[in-house]
Amino acid sequence: MNRRVRLLMVLAGGAGLAALLVAACLDMPGFGGDRHPYGDRAVHESLARRTANTIASVNFDQRAFDTLGEMTILFGAVLGTVVLLRQTRDERRAAPRPEDVAPPVRRYALAVLPVAVLTGLYVIAHGQLSPGGGFQGGVVAATALHLLYLGADYRALERIRPVGLYEVGDALAASAYLVLGLAGVLAGTAFLANTLLPYGTFNTLTSGGTVPLLNAAIGMEVACAVVVLLARFLDQAVEIEEESGT
């Protein structure tokens, strides 16, 4: 099909779908409406289990099974990337040459790196209290490590990043989430039931029963997964070259 026909098809399809969706929008309850039955129940249950951040309660307690699926998507995508970006037979590695970095940039990168990692850990640890949690903090911490590549040198990054270890960490964190879920079954309640631990005092780091534990498992999983993911991409972009003649 040539480009013109395709464009016409897209415009026709888009126009039809737009008409349908706009009609649907006009039937929606008005923006900012007051009716949120599920949301109100979720807030109620979250407070009953002394979890200050309701979103964390939904994610790690009420709908923890969704989060299990989501974590697995991340796990599967990273495993898939590792498989897809493997070094094939017709490729070789070339050592990257060191990079010149202007001194202020280098100093900034090295100074901010620990701050960013700490912020990531802080965001993970306070997940059940204030905005944030395992996902956000994990991504921040993992991104922070790559300041070494951005501000210093690829080889400096490679020294502090044994990818194999992070892969194992990724898998172990995922297993930890599952094991915490299975503990509920073994205790005779239900999968991922938050009934094993005391709910603690409202608005403290240990409140919410298993919520902080699941949150921590997710934080570790996400951080490790992002590191492995970026490692594969960096490998491809920086190190792996095709053999000449292919």
Partner 1 sequence: MDDPAVVVALLLVAAAATTAVAVRDPVRQALVLAVLGLALAVLFTVLQAPDVALSQLAVGSALTPLLLLLSVRKVRRRQKQETKGEPE
Partner 2 sequence: MKHLLPLVVAVPLLGAALLVAGGRRLPRVVAETVGCAVAAGTAALALLLLANSSPPMVEWVGGWTPENGRSVGIVLVGDGPGLGLAALASLLTVAALAYSWHYFDEPPRRHTGSFPALVLLFQAGMCGFAVAGDLFNAFVFFELMSVVAYALTGHRVEEAKAVQGALTFGVVTSLGAYAMLMGIALLYARTGELAMAHIGRGLDRHGGPDALVLAAFVLVLTGLLVKAAAVPFHFWLPDAHAVAPTPVCMLLSGVMVELGAYGVWRVHDSVFSGPGGVPEADLERVLVVLGSLTAVIGAVMCWYQRHVKRLLAYSTVAHTGLFLVGIGILTPQADDGIALYVLGHAGVKAALFACTGILLDRYGTVDEHALYGRARELRGVAVLFLVGALALGGLPPFGTALGKAVTEEAVGGPLTVLYVAVSAITAGAVLRVAARVFLGLGPQPGETPSPAYETTGAGEEPETRHRLGRVPGTMTAVPALLLAGALAVGVTPGFAAGVSRAVNEAGSGGAVTPAHWTPPGVLLGLVSTALAAGLATLAVTRPALLAEPGWAAPLRRLQSGHIGDYVAWTLLGTVLLGVLALPGVLGA
Partner 3 sequence: MSVLPYLVAVWIFLVGAHGLATSRNLIHAVGCLAVCQSGTYVLLLAVGYREGATAPVYADLEPGSRPVVDPVVQALALTDVVVGATVTALLLALVMQIAKRHGTVDPDELSELRG
Q: Which does 105 bind (CB under 5 to 8 A by kind): partner 1, partner 3, partner 2, none?
A: none
245 binds partner 3 (CB under 8 A): no
As a whole number of angstroms, the distance between CA 71 and CA 221 comes to: 8
Footprint (CB under 8 A) of partner 1, residues 49-78 = 53, 55-56
Nearest CA to 204 out of 216, 213, 195, 212 is that of 212
Burial 197-222 (b: 16+ CB within 10 A, else e): eebbeeeeeebbbbbbbbbbbbbbbb
Footprint (CB under 8 A) of partner 3, residues 159-218 = 202-203
Name the one range near partner 1 by CB under 8 A: 30-38, 95-103, 173-181, 207-215. 30-38
Of positions 56, 113, 157, 174, contacts partner 2 by CB under 8 A:
174
Mark residues 8-27: x for contact with partner 2 by CB under 8 A, - for none: -xx-xxx-xx--xx-xx-xx
As a whole number of angstroms, the distance between CA 106 and CA 84 comes to: 33
Token couple for 57: 């309660």
Strands 91-93 and 240-242: antiparallel
98 binds partner 3 (CB under 8 A): no
As a whole number of angstroms, the distance between CA 99 and CA 155 comes to: 10
Token couple for 161: 């990043």
Name the one range near partner 1 by CB under 8 A: 12-20, 29-37, 66-74, 209-217. 29-37
* Measured CA distances, 126 to 80, 134, 135, 142 (Å): 31, 9, 12, 17
- Provide the Cα torsion 158, 164, 122, 152; round to 10°: 10
- How many residues sit in the footprint of partner 1 (CB under 8 A)? 27
Q: Which does 158 bind (CB under 5 to 8 A by kind): partner 2, partner 1, partner 3, none?
A: none
What DSSP element (H or E) covers 69? helix 64-84
Token couple for 231: 């490692």
43 binds partner 1 (CB under 8 A): no
Of positions 123, 124, 192, 216, contacts partner 1 by CB under 8 A:
123
Judged by the rule CB under 8 A, the positions of this chain that interact with partner 3 are: 3, 6-7, 9-10, 14, 17-18, 21-22, 25-26, 28, 30-34, 36, 38-39, 42-43, 46-47, 52-55, 57-59, 63, 66-67, 70, 73-74, 77-78, 80-81, 84-85, 126, 129-131, 135, 202-203, 222, 229, 232-233, 236, 242
Judged by the rule CB under 8 A, the positions of this chain that interact with partner 1 are: 30-32, 53, 55-56, 123, 131-133, 135-136, 139-140, 143, 146, 226, 229-230, 233-234, 236-237, 241-242, 244-245
